[in-house]
Amino acid sequence: MHKRVPDVVVLRLAAYRRALREFPAGSERVSSGALAARTGYSAAQVRKDLSLFGQFGQPGVGYSVVALERELVRIFGLDRERRVALVGVGNLGSALLAYNGFREAGLRIVAAFDVDPRKVGGVIAGVPVRHVDELEGAVAGENIELAMITVPAAAAQGVVDAAVRGGIKGVLNFAPAVVRVPEGVMLRSTHLGAELERLSCLVNLSLAGRDEL
């Protein structure tokens, strides 16, 4: 288990997992070809991607739907509960708190943080809102591994630094700002506008007579 795993492989693994979950109840076996058809990738790519992590299939037979899904869950590290902090309880933060998909994925938002005294002390979607001053201590003392940042751009680096001091393992930044984390801390950045801007670019390029992306 020492191979490098490209980002794009993680993206496809997530698609395989989703496809497996949506498989007709009662399906026991699935072939790389069937997974490919459901996800839009190729059978060879399905097998290659999975082979990075082990040998999960049987030649001539295929993969066990249940066992393969279990392997993917394990690869994603979602086979045990991961505790998550959310920082910034605005519109997007509230939407994330109310989102049900995390729980079933093993991702549990256990604490929310904000600076607004009207929000601190409240409870949103079952999650207590605490003052952001408590963030570092909470990460350090309450086994919080991941943090989602939904604060204004100007505040982003500060709260990321606090989470890092507390020992956070991964940061998902939704603030439209470049933030830095030390080596060893995983970082993903996105923001609400990004996807729509990229879509606009695709539409624009395709209309300009280019090939489809």
Give yes or no for residue 4 binding a copy of itself (CB under 8 A): yes
Q: Which of residues 171-210 bind a copy of itself (CB under 8 A)?
A: 171-172, 176, 178, 183-184, 186, 188, 190-210
Q: Angle, nearest 10°, between helix axes 32-39 and 7-21?
A: 100
Question: Please, what sign has the CA dihedral across residues 12, 17, 22, 26?
Answer: positive
Which of 54, 99, 123, 143 touches a copy of itself by CB under 8 A?
A: 99
Q: Which of residues 138-167 bind DNA (CB under 7 A)?
A: none
Which of 24, 26, 59, 184 touches DNA by CB under 7 A?
A: 59
Contact (CB, 8 A) for 52 and 9: yes
Residue for token pair 């604490």:
111
Give yes or no for residue 168 binding DNA (CB under 7 A): no
Give yes or no for residue 131 binding DNA (CB under 7 A): no
**Which of 203, 176, 204 shows the shortest CA–CA distance to 189?**
176
Give yes or no for residue 47 binding DNA (CB under 7 A): yes
Mask 41-80, x = binds a copy of itself (CB under 8 A)?
Answer: ----------------------------------xxxx--
Residue 151 amino acid letter = V
Which of 31, 45, 64, 94 touches a copy of itself by CB under 8 A?
A: 94
168: left (phi over 0), alpha (psi -120 to 50) or beta: beta
Residue 158 Cα to chain centre, angstroms: 22
